[in-house]
Amino acid sequence: MSNHAEILIIDDEPQIRKLLTITLQSNDYNIREASTAREGLLSAANHPPEMILLDLGLPDESGHMVLEKLREWYTKPIIILSVQSNEEDIVKALDNGANDYLVKPFRTGELLARMRSLLRSSSSESEHPVITIQDIQIDLSLRLVKKNDEPVKLTATEYNLLALLIKNEGKVLTHQFLLRTIWGPSYIDQSQYLRVFIAQLRKKIEDDLNNPLHIITESGIGYRFV
Amino acid sequence: MLNFLLHKFSKRKQYVISVSLILCVAAISYALSDFIEYKVVAFLLLVTVSLIAMLFDIVPVLVAAFLSAIVWNYFFIPPRFTFAIQSTENVLLFLMYFIIAMVNGGLTYKIRETEKKANKKTEKENTLKLYNTLLNSLSHELRTPISTIIGATDTLQEENHKLTEENRSELISEISKASLRLNRQVGNLLNMSRLESGFLQPKTDWCDISELVYDVINQLKDTLQNKPVEVSIKENMPLFKLDYGLLEQVLHNLIHNAAVYIPKYAVITVRATVNKDQKLVIIVEDTGNGFPENEIDSVFEKFYRLKSTNPGGTGLGLSIVKGFVEAMHGTVRLENGEEYGSKFTIEIPAEIAYLNDIKNE
């Protein structure tokens, strides 16, 4: 895995920038900083980084706007940083193309894990039909899921849901996105289906149902597979 | 109550009501005019004007006063059914009535205004008192972790070679604990202000209650060391349409509270069921010391802290529990166990969906 990846931090708080810079530099990332939306957009355009950490509360322009402008041409991962755990705000950012989000204050370990996972998935774009994540293995061409090398019996919907989650490993998928993709646009408000199928999937692939390690709930937002 | 009446009636209604009240009293007096003298009628009308003045704005009151004078003159002062007054005494009486009715109406209204101002002042004083309590408990709750952080970083920054590696890492872990504690308190305050603003609108969505309970227990892993939590939720528990975030905070506060106050190795039990009214029932019990009986009613009050507990805590946790549960139209109850421990019971009405119905579709 390629470290030394270049990361652009767009955040107006010098303390947060400093903390992130030190943390990331000591984990072998190269850092560029920007304190305003304008500066950030310029810096990203001049020399596109491997990943952008974007604060939603910028002084000159809303982070949502910056995200939209970046997404017009920038395809690499963007992680949103926000002080508010406002679910609507986060869902909006994710639907506008953010790959992940962290609510301040966040734990450094969490940030590094999310970054690693996003950098990995963006570098291994090649459509490899077999994906292995710890004890779970999925063969997308054979539509086969194995846990500890034992085949897992799944219904068609269960398989589709799991495959979608695994293909986006590490990324939060919002409830609306999952419902729309698996069940269709008319099911967007029918989140009870999602709850039931997630519960079913957990029963089949998690060791401890009450302490799930693979399908993680992001309360009020969605699910992520790790 | 008076204020309530005042805000309830529109200007137009106030006119209609005050005029009809005067006419009503006049009609009754007219029917009884064989038994009561016209001077007594004047008195009855005056009382009516005063009543109106207690309830309504100044203009309708003056209109009522004026009208009552006219009515009294026309229907009651002899000779009746004319505006003319013959005896000088009656002219004097009428003028006096007119002035007294007007002044009475005006004065009563003014007294009311002053009262309103006084009420506003006491209200302000109460808010101030609340803020003072808040500031007192806050300055303790926030300053303790802040002092820890400042003190620890000072020691770490000093070029002190006597500081052992063990102590160094202990200081760092204290900083970490202190900042988590600060974060918790800020969260509590934000929740409190959400409640105080009065605009707390639950955002409902289907919730898997057992997922929620285990989620909260996982969040509290560090606090719950040596304090086992038993969970009892039936396999066939339905989904409930609820605000996940609010319920999460409610359970978080209840379990955190239990974890902080019960002695080591006491057990916390969380149970969730559907009752016969199809409401969600969540019970958080512990085998600790329970609450003093005489303080049970007060524990949900803002800033209330048990008299026997050590300082620390803002006394906001349980009032947030109550506020959030009530925002979801539910109830929360506290009682002590028969032998030991305490028991919080939450009941929340919600739409229900059974898993089996969905699975078979």
The mean pLDDT of B298-303, rounded to a whole number, is 80
| Chain A residues with a Cβ under 8 Å from any Cβ in chain B | 87, 105, 175, 191-196, 198-200, 210-211, 217, 219-220
Q: What is the mean pLDDT of chain B?
A: 83
SS3 sequence of A98-126:
CCEEEECCCCHHHHHHHHHHHHHHHHCCC
Residues of B in contact with A217 (CB under 8 A): 211, 215
Predicted local distance difference test score (pLDDT) of residue B136: 72
Predicted local distance difference test score (pLDDT) of residue A34: 94
Predicted local distance difference test score (pLDDT) of residue A125: 55
C-beta atoms of B208 and A199 within 8 A: yes
User: Rounded to 5 degrees, what are φ and ψ at B349?
Assistant: -75, 140
Which chain B residue shows the shortest CA-CA distance from A208? B214
C-beta atoms of A196 and B214 within 8 A: no
What is the residue-wise DSSP string for chain A? ---S-EEEEE-S-HHHHHHHHHHHHTTT-EEEEESSHHHHHHHHHHS--SEEEEES--SSS-HHHHHHHHHTT--S-EEEEES---HHHHHHHHHTT--EEEESS--HHHHHHHHHHHHHHHH--S--SEEEETTEEEETTTTEEEETTEE----HHHHHHHHHHHHTTTS-EEHHHHHHHHH-GGGTT-HHHHHHHHHHHHHHH-SSTTS-SSEEEETTTEEEE-
C-beta atoms of A211 and B206 within 8 A: no
Closest CA to A152 of A82, A208, A205: A205
Does residue B55 contact residue B112 with C-beta atoms inside 8 Å? no
User: Rounded to 5 degrees, what are φ and ψ at B234?
Assistant: -65, 150
Predicted local distance difference test score (pLDDT) of residue A124: 59
Predicted local distance difference test score (pLDDT) of residue B307: 67
User: Rounded to 5 degrees, what are φ and ψ at B284?
Assistant: -115, 115
Distance CA B128, CA B134 (A): 10
Distance CA A45, CA A39 (A): 10
Sign of CA dihedral B143, B145, B149, B151: positive
* Neighbour count for residue B71 (Cβ, 10 Å): 19
C-beta atoms of A200 and B359 within 8 A: yes
Q: Does B144 touch chain A (CB under 8 A)?
A: no
Predicted local distance difference test score (pLDDT) of residue A70: 94
pLDDT in tens, chain A (226 residues): 445 789 999 999 888 899 999 999 999 999 999 999 999 999 999 999 999 999 998 888 999 999 999 999 999 999 999 887 678 888 899 988 899 999 888 888 889 988 988 887 766 555 678 888 888 999 988 899 999 999 999 999 999 999 999 988 888 899 989 999 999 988 888 888 898 899 889 999 999 888 889 999 888 889 999 8
Predicted local distance difference test score (pLDDT) of residue B1: 44
Any residues with CB less than 8 A from the CB of B361 and at least 6 apart, and which? none
Between chain A and chain B, the number of residue pairs with CB atoms below 8 A apart is 42
Q: Does B218 touch chain A (CB under 8 A)?
A: yes
Q: Report the gap between the CA of B187 and the closest CA in chain A (Å).
A: 10
Task: Write down the H helix ranges in B197-208.
Answer: none
Residue B157 has pLDDT above 50, yes or no: yes
pLDDT tens, residue by residue, B206-232: 898 988 999 899 888 888 888 889 999
pLDDT tens, residue by residue, B109-156: 888 888 888 888 888 887 777 677 667 767 777 888 898 899 889 888
C-beta atoms of B215 and A217 within 8 A: yes
Residues of A in contact with B248 (CB under 8 A): 219
Look-up: residue for tokens 């100044």? B58
Predicted local distance difference test score (pLDDT) of residue A1: 45
> Model confidence at B359, in pLDDT bands (50, 70, 90)?
low
Pick the residue with more confidence: A78 or B45? A78
Does residue B313 contact residue B141 with C-beta atoms inside 8 Å? yes
